[in-house]
Amino acid sequence: MTARKVRVRFAPSPTGPLHIGGVRTALFNYLFAKKHGGDFILRIEDTDSTRFVEGAEEYVNDSLAWLGMAVDEGVKEGGEFGPYKQSERKDIYKKYADELIESGWAYYAFDTPAELDALRATAEAEKRNFAYDMHNRMQLKNSLSLSDDEVKQRMDAGEPWVIRFKMPENTDVQTNDMVRGSVTFNTNTLDDKVIFKSADQLPTYHLANIVDDHLMEISHVIRGEEWLPSVPLHIMLYKALKWEDTMPTFAHLPLILKPTGKGKLSKRDGDKGGFPVFPLNWQLEDGVAAGYKESGYFPEAVNNLLALLGWNPGTEQELFSIDELVESFSIERVNKSGARFDPDKAKWFNQQHLMRKDNEELSLLFNDELNERGVVADISFVEQIVAMVKERVNFVSELWEQSFFFFEAPSEYDPKVVKKRWKGDVPAFMGDLVTELEKVDNWVADDIKAVIAAQIEAKGLGFGLVMNAFRLALVGGGFGPDLMVIAEMLGKDETISRVKAAVENIG
Ligand code: GLU
């Protein structure tokens, strides 16, 4: 048998902004496809019109594009297995539902929502669960329990119906999940799921999903673990439709857990912990749900951090570009147990990817920020600064607070540093230093340092004390890179003017 071409799909329902759990599912599909020279397909599963959310499909497209996951076939990209949006495939599904009725694998059911609600309520009152299943289907209103005449009458009268899958009794359904290994389900615990509805002439998720995976020649289904309970129904559908031979192989990915490790990561956790759980900003009625992009993350950092939520390379390596991920990825190394999300680690990944970027690229990014602040600077100057401070930041947006003093004089002085460093003989010394600094001809770090050191020596002050006061004058606090380099880069006039300002303004 020739090996089957790897074709995987990411199949989101456009019911809201894609959560990072969904993004990780997309990423693992993408990595698996690229690793095996296969196709990465994007299918929009929008058969449930009641849950449709405007803008959600576009959000998926924008998110994948930002993260660099190129889609081989999809709504926008087209492809020979289209359409790739289920609402545009409406005419395809009915025939398969009919086929299942004819072969006895499915039946019509006429129970109204109100009747089913009443049965549910009674069951609840008796502390039982209600399920429409093999145990009670003959007591309910369907084409198995009613006579052919009555079924016909109801249908002719235009009564709404659904088609339910007739789950066989006491059958073991087994699968070899690529993540979980051999998993067996017994059908006795399963209900008769609705697979098609007359009201909108549309299939439900289960039928549409199986039909499309089959017609689109999907080889592997990689999705979140919340779909594991659907596997026995899906396998039974493949059997019933006689597609078992080409049934895809399943892989169910572990949950992404809250930072505490207890329960699934939610939007609320992000709100509480101040970290994004969405790839891009998403507009809400009363604000914005924060996205990784707008929070200053690099796409490669997001891919990297998501890849390591549930997968490990089997080595000590933690930093990966997307190409390196493709190279190293293997579905066998995906864990079964949930992966705890660590917001600090997420920042760390960004910092590491920031460090990996060359100074030229970073300086262009930082320059955009500078322009937004109305600061215009020579790009080679910006590049020098980036090189000096980049290891102190996690995000490009933090470069400003580490380097603003290169672009403007401090407007205030950190009171704690003032108290500790600007005392005793220091103010007078700094006043005298101005005269000495004015004498420096060649304004370079070493010469500036030599002059200050000579002064310190002459006046018998502590080197550290003076240097910290000098730093306070130049940057406004106790932070920043090499002080003499700062002075050199600021230039003679600006340095002297800042020392003068400090002497005048710190009281
Ligand atoms: N439409 C489903 C979802 O929203 C797809 C599940 C699957 O991949 O089979 O997650």
Mutation choice for ligand 1 from 13, 218, 220, 231, CB with most ligand atoms inside 8 A: 13
Choose one of 253, 285, 301: the last residue of a domain.
Answer: 253
Whole-number Å distance, alpha carbon 489 to ligand 1 midpoint, is 56
181 & 199 share domain: yes
Q: Is residue 351 part of a domain?
A: no
CA-to-CA distance for 507 and 505, rounded, in angstroms?
A: 6
Active site residue 267: yes
Q: Are 251 and 37 in contact (CB under 8 A)?
A: no
pLDDT of 394 higher than 80? yes
Tell me if 428 is assigned to some domain.
yes
Which residues, at least 6 apart from 355, have a Cβ–Cβ distance to it below 8 Å? Answer: 390, 391
Q: What CATH number is given to the structural domain containing 394?
A: 1.10.8
Q: Give the number of the atom of ligand 1 that is nearest the alpha carbon of residue 223.
A: 8
Beta bridge partners of 300: none
Distance CA 309, CA 341 (A): 7
Q: Examine the pLDDT at 390 and tell me if it is beyond 90.
A: yes
Chain centroid to CA 222? 17
Closest CA to 496 of 428, 425, 439, 437: 437
Helix, strand, coil abundance in the chain, percent, nearest 5: 50, 15, 35
Whole-angstrom distance, CA of residue 52 vs CA of residue 127: 34
Ligand 1 center to 29 CA (angstroms): 12
How do residues 134-150 score in pLDDT, each as one tens digit?
999 999 999 999 999 99
106-109/39-42 β-pairing = unpaired
pLDDT higher than 90, residue 66? yes
Nearest CA to ligand 1 atom 3: 12
* pLDDT, mean of residues 163-173: 98
- Asked if residue 279 lies in contact with residue 18, where contact means CB atoms within 8 angstroms, the answer is yes
Task: Evaluate whether residue 305 is within a structural domain.
Answer: no
Q: How far apart are CA 253 and CA 311, in angstroms?
A: 9
At CB < 8 A and 24+ separation, what contacts does 415-418 make?
Answer: 416/478, 417/468, 417/472, 417/477, 417/478, 418/472, 418/506
In a domain, 338, yes or no: no
CATH code of the domain in which 454 resides? 1.10.10.350
Rounded distance from Cα 56 to ligand 1 centre (Å): 14
pLDDT of residue 340: 97
Q: Clarify whether residues 374 and 431 are in a common domain.
A: no
Does residue 321 form part of some domain? no
CATH code of 234's domain: 3.90.800.10
Q: 361 with 445, same domain?
A: no
Residues 372 and 485 placed together within one structural domain of the fold: no
Residues 125 and 236 in one domain: yes
Nearest-atom number in ligand 1 for the CA of 205 is: 1
pLDDT over threshold 90, residue 3: no
Which of these, 170, 146, 151, 169, lies nearest to 161 by C-alpha position? 151
State the Cα–Cα distance between residues 378 and 355, nearest whole angstrom: 22
Amino acid identity, residue 311? Answer: W
Of the candidates 424, 439, 426, which has an alpha carbon nearest to the alpha carbon of residue 471? 426
Rounded to two decimals, the pTM is 0.92
State residue 49's pLDDT score. 87
Alpha carbon distance, N-terminus to C-terminus of the chain: 86
Beta-carbon-side half-sphere exposure of residue 320 (alpha carbons within 13 Å): 23
Name the DSSP class of 8.
E
Instruction: Give the model's pLDDT for residue 55.
Output: 96
pLDDT tens column, 250-291: 999 999 999 999 999 999 999 899 999 999 999 999 999 999
Residue 105 has pLDDT above 80, yes or no: yes
Q: How much is the pLDDT for 2?
A: 60
- Kindly tell me if the per-residue pLDDT of 125 is higher than 90: yes
Residue 340 Cα to ligand 1 middle (Å): 22
Q: How many domains does the chain have?
A: 3
Phi-psi region of 55 (alpha: psi -120 to 50; beta: other; left: phi over 0): left
* Contacting residues for 405 by C-beta, under 8 A, at least 6 apart: 474, 475, 476, 480, 486
Distance (angstroms) between ligand 1 centre and the Cα of 259 equals 25
Residue 420 has a pLDDT of: 94
**Quick check: is 15 in a domain?**
no
242 with 107, same domain: the answer is: yes
Which residue, judged by its Cα, is nearest atom 6 of ligand 1? 11
Instruction: Decide which of 223, 253, 283 is a domain's last residue.
Output: 253
The span from the CA of 433 to the CA of 8, in Å, is 70
Query: From the alpha carbon of 10, which atom of ligand 1 is closest?
Result: 8
3-state secondary structure of 175: strand
Judged by DSSP in three states, 284 sits in: strand
Q: Does residue 1 carry a pLDDT above 70? A: no
Cβ(19)–Cβ(278) under 8 Å? Answer: yes
Candidates 20, 30, 223, 226: which one to mutate for ligand 1, based on the most atoms within 8 Å of Cβ? 223
Alpha helices in 166-266 (DSSP H): 205-215, 231-240
Question: Among residues 43, 44, 32, which one has the least CA distance to residue 6?
Answer: 32
Catalytic residue among 94, 267, 357, 500: 267
Domain that holds residue 214: 86-253
User: How many helices, marked H, and strands, marked E, lie in the chain?
Assistant: 20, 14
Per-residue pLDDT for 317 more than 70? yes
Retrieve residue 507's tokens.
């009281």
Instruction: Determine the Cα–Cα distance for residues 140 and 146; give it in Å rounded to an integer.
Output: 9
**To the nearest whole percent, how much of the chain has pLDDT over 70?**
99
Which of 399, 429, 450 is where one domain is finished? Answer: 399
Unique residue bearing structure tokens 């660099």: 68
Do 436 and 364 belong together in one domain? Answer: no
Inside any domain, residue 312: no
**How many angstroms is it from 211 CA to the middle of ligand 1?**
13
pLDDT at 88 over 80: yes
Phi, then psi, of 423 in degrees rounded to 5: -150, 170
Enumerate residues 6+ apart whose C-beta is below 8 A from 107. 101, 137, 142, 143, 144, 163, 164, 166, 192
Give the tokens for residue 262.
Answer: 């207890």
Q: Name the one residue in this structure whose structure tokens are 């039946």.
A: 107
Same domain, 458 and 365: no
Measured distance CA(139)–CA(380) in Å, rounded:
81
Q: Among the atoms of ligand 1, which is closest to the Cα of residue 45?
A: 1
* Residue with token string 């709504």: 75
Do 106 and 241 share a domain, yes or no? yes
Q: What rounded mean pLDDT belongs to the chain?
A: 96
Q: Are residues 419 and 474 in the same domain?
A: yes
371 domain-assigned: yes
Which residues form the pocket of ligand 1, taking CB atoms under 6 Å from any ligand atom?
11-13, 45, 205, 209, 223, 227
Say yes or no: 241 and 368 in one domain. no
Domain check: are 385 and 434 in the same one? Answer: no
